[in-house]
Amino acid sequence: MAARNGFILKTEHLPRQAQDKHRENSKKRTGFCRAKIGADVIDSPKHRAMNFEAALQSVALLRNDKGVLPLKPGTKVAVVGPLADARNSLMSGYTSMQPCAHDVNQTEDACIWSIAAAVRSYNGGEPGLTTNASGIDINSTDTSRIAAAVALAQAADVVVLALGTDSTIEAEVRKRKTN
């Protein structure tokens, strides 16, 4: 079907310049052309507001029977799970990581807060009030850190579970190992 619609063309016989031009035209025609947008635009107040609004609209609160949420500052919170300290993994494989405008090191994930860091900041940042532990890594069988995570959870007033997948499981053109 792609060949019939003109998306595939054998270009090895063409001069290098023609190959490059064909590749660029194909990207534009199929929507794979990425604009070069600076970090100052991506990390602008307008974009931050749009991202925040999108995040608010995507949150699903299943139950709040005991009025735990919103968390009251000063509550002892344990953030537990393999994504507790993750940053880049929270973005999935379908994002284009861009450096942040305020990041002098131009690190790709500097704008992304981990769940633990966000809860810690909201909770006042006081040492010991917000703790975190992964317990186990995604796509791993190493259970050596589960006991520490359970201990943090038992000592907390509230537990935030940070669960999900990362690129070791969720990615195109990658087969995951099965036993």
- What's the confidence (pLDDT) of residue 176? 56
- What's the confidence (pLDDT) of residue 99? 58
Cis amide leading into 70 (omega within 30): yes
**Beta strands 158-161; 130-133: pairing state:** unpaired
- What's the confidence (pLDDT) of residue 103? 58
How many alpha carbons fall within 13 Å on the CB side of residue 91? 16
Residues in the chain predicted with pLDDT less than 50, given as ranges, are 1-9, 11
In angstroms, the CA 98 to CA 79 distance is 27
CA 162 to each of CA 70, 78, 126, 158: distance values in angstroms, whole numbers, following the listed order: 17, 10, 21, 13
